[in-house]
Amino acid sequence: VFDPQIVVLDHIMPDLSMEQATDESYIYKSILSRLGIHEFDKPLGILSGGQRRKVDLARALVNDPDLLILDEPTNHLDMDTIEWLQDYLIKLKKTVLFVTHDRYFLDAISNRIWEIDKGSLHVSVGNYSDYVKGKLLREVDAQRKETRRQAQLSKELQWLGRGAKARTSKPKHHVEKVKELISKSYLISNAELDISFQTDRLGKTILELRKLSKSYGSNLLFKDIDHHFQPRERIGIIGPNGCGKTTLLRIITGEEKPDAGSVKAGINTHFAYYKQDEESFDPNMSVYDYIAQYAEVIKTKDGTRLSASEMLQRFLFDGRMQQQKLGALSGGERKRLYLLKSLMFGANFIILDEPTNDLDIRTLEILEDYLDAFDGCLLVVSHDRFFLDRCIDYLFVFEGTSVRKIAGNYSDYLLWKRFDEEEEEESRKAAPSRNTRPKSSIKGLSYNEQRELKLISEEIQGQETQLKELEAELAQPDLTPQDYRRIGNLQAELTRQHERLLERWFELSEKQEGN
């Protein structure tokens, strides 16, 4: 619940005195800026859902809680912001409880994992990699226990199979033992998502993007995007929020028109488009009816004909769940259902817009397996670094209004980016520094005033240099909450001193000009 009239900065700041609020506003503004919120005086009521989530995340981070609880904190964040948040939480000397499907994020931050599966809680000490290893060991141990259970059950059933006289002459605990063995299974459920739909072969022309440009009013999103897709090309799209990634997908699928340029799809190219935003649905419609309205029977890759019910079972919707109403499903279950609806027609060109949001990790892993074996083309917008490393081999990186093409997955891109930044830093250090502040005329002032004006000018230059250094320090990804508070306090004090000196500088300058 929030007041739609309250502005962003007031929403995240605790109840402080006027002086405290002025001193600490740097801290709050820097956190908001790192999360991609730059309009601090904007009312909450006109923000998008994703922007409000970022503001709430900023509010949670700056209020210095003893226990920080985060629910899918990486949703709606771009790559750079996720990595900043990851580093921030690593250095946070507080307890953090968070729900996430981001496996790199989970691996980097967690030192204990709680897994909830079929009503049971399993606790694993360590990060996500440790959890995966531990789960494999649990499955091996469970299989061993299950084998022993089956052997014991077989032995007891043989005893039960003997004559009534033999059964009545034996202790009663044998019967109880059989009941216990029948009701108890050690096997961990490994139901898998099976998605292998029949697809048509792509033609010679797959998809051609020619000099695409798009603006909204005076806001230019991108220009001159040019690309000819090749067979089995798997492209990931990354960039800051609002740069036009989803707009590009909508242009490709014909939902929007470009301002300039053209899109040409081959006659054999059939798209499956998984959208980030859920389509509207009737909450009273059953899961089965939702799928059956699109197709009651469909062919798989091996030619098998599946009914709507069988398709749903392959997507982990058992008979009971198929009768549930859509309104009763969790967000992740609705996303899985929407994934089935998007892929079930056997497209040979899959377009995915943030497919990992709200999908559980098991579904993600099996979707990744499916995409590994998929023979067509893949174009995906995602902030999930693990997913991009696993599924793509080429990147479109939105930079300003242009798109840079980079061969490789996300980890390859990070390596390239690091080398590029190192080269820029070396070039910057090699460039001669220039003092752009013009020298002030000190004619017409007394000797002491001339000296004062000269000293003030030098001190102002020094303060401005320090303020720039503090701004650069705030942009570093490895700052702790204590660092933000320290830098914010320094900025506040330095700014006050700077304003006092500027006031005196203008006073002396006006006096000099008046003479």
**Does the structure show a pLDDT above 70 at 168?**
no
pLDDT attached to residue 435: 46
pLDDT attached to residue 455: 80
Give the highest mean pLDDT range of 136-140, 268-272, 504-508. 268-272
Q: Identify the band that residue 380 occupies on the pLDDT scale cut at 50, 70 and 90.
A: very high
Q: Two tokens at 149?
A: 């259970």
Other beta carbons within 10 angstroms of residue 368's beta carbon come to 15
Q: pLDDT by residue (tens digit) across 291-334?
A: 998 888 877 777 778 888 988 888 888 889 999 999 999 888 88
Query: How far is C-alpha 51 from the chain's CA centre?
Result: 14
**Does the structure show a pLDDT above 80 at 86?**
yes
AA identity, residue 33: S
pLDDT attached to residue 163: 53
Determine the longest span between alpha carbons in the chain, in angstroms. Answer: 127
325 DSSP 8-state letter: B
**Does the structure show a pLDDT above 90 at 284?**
yes
- Percentage, residues of the chain above pLDDT 90: 27
The CATH number fitting domain 207-418, selected from 3.20.20.480, 3.40.50.300, 3.40.50.10070, 3.30.470.20: 3.40.50.300
Q: Identify the band that residue 126 occupies on the pLDDT scale cut at 50, 70 and 90.
A: very high
Q: Two tokens at 418?
A: 């690091």
pLDDT attached to residue 198: 66
pLDDT attached to residue 301: 72
Name the helix (H) or strand (E) containing 155. Answer: helix 128-160
- Counting Cβ atoms within 10 Å, is residue 169 exposed (0-12), middle (13-18) or buried (19+)? exposed
- Percentage, residues of the chain above pLDDT 70: 82
Higher-pLDDT residue of 42 and 158 is 42
Give the residue extent of every domain in the chain: 207-418, 447-514
3-state secondary structure of 344: coil
**Does the structure show a pLDDT above 60 at 10?**
yes
Q: What are phi and psi of 98, to 5 degrees?
A: -140, 150
Q: Which fold has domain 447-514?
A: Helix Hairpins (1.10.287)
pLDDT attached to residue 392: 92
3-state secondary structure of 359: coil
Query: How far is C-alpha 471 from the chain's CA centre?
Result: 26
pTM over 0.75: no
Q: What are phi and psi of 431, to 5 degrees?
A: -75, 140
Is residue 45 within 8 Å of 5, Cβ to Cβ?
A: yes
Other beta carbons within 10 angstroms of residue 297's beta carbon come to 11
pLDDT attached to residue 175: 54
Q: pLDDT by residue (tens digit) across 430-460?
A: 755 444 444 444 456 776 777 777 788 888 8
Q: Two tokens at 1?
A: 């619940």
3-state secondary structure of 424: helix
188 DSSP 8-state letter: P
Mean pLDDT, the chain, whole residue set: 81
Is residue 485 within 8 Å of 41, Cβ to Cβ?
A: no
Give the bridge partners for 395, in sequence order: 236, 406
CA distances from 353 to 246, 338, 339 (A): 7, 12, 11
pLDDT attached to residue 164: 47
